[in-house]
Structure 1
Amino acid sequence: MNEQVQELVENVRENLGLNSHQLKRYHFFREKNHFNETIYIMNMEWSPNDADSSSEDFNTAGTAVVDVNFHTKEVRRIVFVQDLNSADHTRYPSSAAKEDVIEWIEDRTGLTFGRQFLIAHEEKQALSFGAAVDNIPVTPTGTIEVAFNDDGELTLFSIDGTFPDGEQIAWEPFALTPDKYEPVAKSQCQLLELPDQGQEKWLPMYGMEEVFIANDAERTIPFTFEADRYSFVSKDEILRWDEPLDGEFERKEMDLSPEVTLETVLANVPHPDTIPLTDAEAGACEREVIRFMRLVYPDESGKRKLTGIYLQNGYIVAEIKPVKDDAKNALDIKIKLLIERDTLTAMNYIDQDRLFEAFKHFTEADEAAVSQEEAFDKLRGYLEMDPVYVYDASSDSYIMCGKLDCAYGVNAVTGEVVALNTL
């Protein structure tokens, strides 16, 4: 066994109380986080010494499955198979009591409760925590999960995401009063057509698009923080061609596994998605999208547009949406074309339009009788504005923002205010 691997194995054995266990197998995986950084994970399966060894194909009760950051040695996840904690119990909290769990998490992670993480959800035998800065949530967030069996023994611990410290925070008091955020909120009040399955028709509804508003109310930050959006290159290219192409599109097998070799881990090779797309690659992708459309959607010239390309699992993903803004856009229906980066050729695709088939027979929406201004006036009293620290890539820090949300919408025909979770 490699010396660094052996060192990490012994470190995990000692820290997690696995002295009465044997390492059954291990694998290496590569991830990319929200900040475009590469992380290597070593996954280990520790079997109790007295476990039945007749089958190597599955993990017996009490097996500890552990994920650890190879380079920092931080434990990311512990799961005991079949909820049986077979490790040294002195290494774990003695019960699901909040105080015991929080103290154990602080000791294990170096984080401080209240300053860097808060309780997000609690049950009798499970607790969930979210990243925070002095009791204010952060985005993108970090999460911690713990669970216990009926005997009060820990059977799950996981930590994921980021927990910023004070040096990463651009400190300032929350200053978004209604007079500052309501003009922005008004622009976020949009008319959409949503499927009403009870009546089998499209329902025109005004709703508030969730968004983060900077503390000075001068700009907004999108609500989504998928890790692969770091590489997103926005496009607005209507796809047109003169004639279709003969032949059929051949779907090719793809390797989406994050597993890597030890050699790759030791070399700390950057995740391929951290290497930015070049202009040449973007241009080649646009040409490949046209070729794909001519083969698969030959009659849709001018009806679809390329809205963006980004990196995911070592491949380039091209997003293709309808040109016309219709009800499908409320469901964000699109085609995702997966392109091999080395050859810049299309490998496979996902047409989410098939999800729309269930609504094809729905009756068209009635004409809106309520204006956007009237709808916003009705929703003004239901607006939620909560402080949150949001990561700002331009300054490489977390800045104070307000999270704009609204749990209600306005029926654009009747003017009725409706709880959106009832639709």
Structure 2
Amino acid sequence: MNMGSSFTIYIEGHLWQKKRLKTEEYVLSIDRIEDLAKQQVQRFDWPSFEQNRIRPIYALEEIYVKNDGTGTIPFEIGREETHCIHVHQVMEWNEPLNKAFEKKEIDINEDITAEQALSLEPSPDTFPISKRRASCVYKSGSNLFGAKKYSKDTGKWVLKTLHRDHGYIQAILKTNEQEGCGFMDKIKVFIDASTFEAINYIEKKEMFQVCGILNPSQTASEITISPKEAFETLRERLELTPIYVYDDVQKQYVLCGKLDCHESVDAVSGEVFSLTDLS
């Protein structure tokens, strides 16, 4: 990253004009954001393929912290300027729908004509999702999916984000923080971009059950390490790296610190190990 007088800056594989950057002196440190760092150290149920079981661990959930102290930006792999919007809306319904949810085949093939290619016509996946469309997706797609698939779970699931991919609007659903353990409690719903109908979904917990990693009869391990103890163990291993990140609200790149940690703590034994060793 170039913090000098150059007119361009290289960020995560893209080259951007300096006029779209909000330049400022980098002032962040772990001491300044310690309270936030404590909140980001969370417990997860992590699938261990080697041990063929679910392993409870404490790990830091990466996040971008704005250098000017005005807030944070969620960490997302491959985040783009217009592809993703944050909803954070609880999914609720008054009465469950008795009709079962039926999956439909997903078609990710894109037919592009020579004229479209030569004219550099933008892909529909690059179009921003308007507030009106997001509202329609929530009401007609995600909420309907929840009422059918998880009829008794009103108020449990949260519509976190929406983004376009392969012609569909993809909705990311997670359980309320009070309910779940992060990694396993996540669903990706594929929604028709025209009709807002939920077409298909991928559920992490179900996927690992099929693979034989998550056994419903598995006895939960007794947690002996507290969140405070886990944070104190990981504190000296935390990393805070200066980086420019696109802010959806300001519509420009802002200076942030990427809070990250490559190690985790076993919630049962207290063992510290690298996240790359989790397999």
TM range (shorter): 0.7 to 0.9
Q: Could you tell me whether the CA contact under 8 Å between 2:175 and 2:185 is conserved in 1?
A: no
Partner of 2:2: 133
Structure 1 residues 422 and 182 mapped into 2: Cα distance closer, same or farther (>3 Å)?
same
Question: Partner of 1:63 in structure 2?
Answer: none
Separation (CA, whole Å) in 2 of partners of 1:371 and 1:257: 49
Match of 1:381 in 2: 236
**Aligned partner letter, 2:41:** C
Question: 1:11-410 to 2 correspondence within 5 Å?
Answer: 132-134=1-3, 141-142=12-13, 162-224=14-76, 225-227=78-80, 229-239=83-93, 241-245=95-99, 249=102, 251=104, 254=107, 256-257=109-110, 259-262=112-115, 266=119, 268=121, 271=124, 273-279=126-132, 282-283=135-136, 285-292=138-145, 297=149, 300-302=151-153, 305=157, 307-308=159-160, 309-322=162-175, 325-327=179-181, 329-331=182-184, 333-334=186-187, 336-357=188-209, 358-361=212-215, 363-410=218-265
Partners in 2 of 1:414 and 1:360 — Cα distance?
A: 20
Residue type of the alignment partner of 2:227: Q
Is the CA contact 1:192–1:330 (under 8 Å) kept in the aligned structure 2? yes
8 Å contact from structure 1 (residues 239, 302) kept in 2: no
Q: Residue deviations 1:184-237, cap 9 Å, x none?
A: 212211122222344433322111111111224442211115336434543211
Q: Percent of aligned pairs with the same residue?
A: 25
Alpha-carbon shift at residue 285 of structure 1 (Å): 4.9
With over 3 angstroms needed to count, the CA separation of the structure-2 counterparts of 1:213 and 1:278, relative to structure 1, is closer
- The answer for the alignment partner of 1:43 in structure 2 is none
- Aligned in 2, Cα 1:240/1:133: closer, same or farther, shift over 3 Å? farther
Q: CA deviation at 1:383?
A: 1.2
Residue equivalent to 1:51: none
State how far apart, in whole Å, the 2-side matches of 1:398 and 1:140 are: 10
Report the Cα distance in structure 2 between the residues aligned to 1:275 and 1:216, rounded to whole angstroms. 27
Contact 1:184-1:217 within 8 A present in 2 as well = no
Conservation of the 8 A alpha-carbon contact between 2:245 and 2:254: yes
| Aligned-residue offset at 1:180 | 0.7
The structure, 1 or 2, with the larger RCO (C-alpha pairs under 8 Å, 6+ apart) is 2
- TM-superposed CA distance for 1:280, in Å, is 6.3
Distance 1:167 1:405, change over 3 A: same
Instruction: Quote the Cα distance in structure 2 between the aligned partners of 1:394 and 1:235.
Output: 18
Deviation at 1:378, TM superposition (A): 1.3
Give secondary structure in 1 for the equivalent of 2:84: helix
Residues 264 and 285 of structure 1, relative CA distance in 2, 3 Å threshold: farther
Q: TM-score, normalised by structure 1?
A: 0.53
Tell me how far apart the structure 2 counterparts of residues 412 and 233 of structure 1 sit (CA, whole Å).
31
**Whole-Å Cα distance in 2 between the matches of residues 183 and 380 of structure 1?**
11
In angstroms, what is the RMSD of aligned CA positions?
A: 3.6
Q: Aligned AA for 1:177?
A: S
Q: Secondary structure at the match of 2:57?
A: strand
Deviations 1:57-115 (A, max 9, x none): xxxxxxxxxxxxxxxxxxxxxxxxxxxxxxxxxxxxxxxxxxxxxxxxxxxxxxxxxxx
User: Hey, what's the Cα distance between the residues in 2 that align with 1:330 and 1:138?
Assistant: 33
Residues 263 and 187 of structure 1: CA distance in aligned 2, closer, same or farther (over 3 Å)? closer
Q: Distance in 1 between matches of 2:184 and 2:103?
A: 28
Shift, 1:257, TM fit: 0.7
Show structure 1 runs of 5+ residues with no match: 1-131, 143-161
**Equivalent residues of 1:390, 1:399 under 8 A apart:** yes
What one-letter code is carried by the residue in structure 1 that aligns with 2:20?
Q
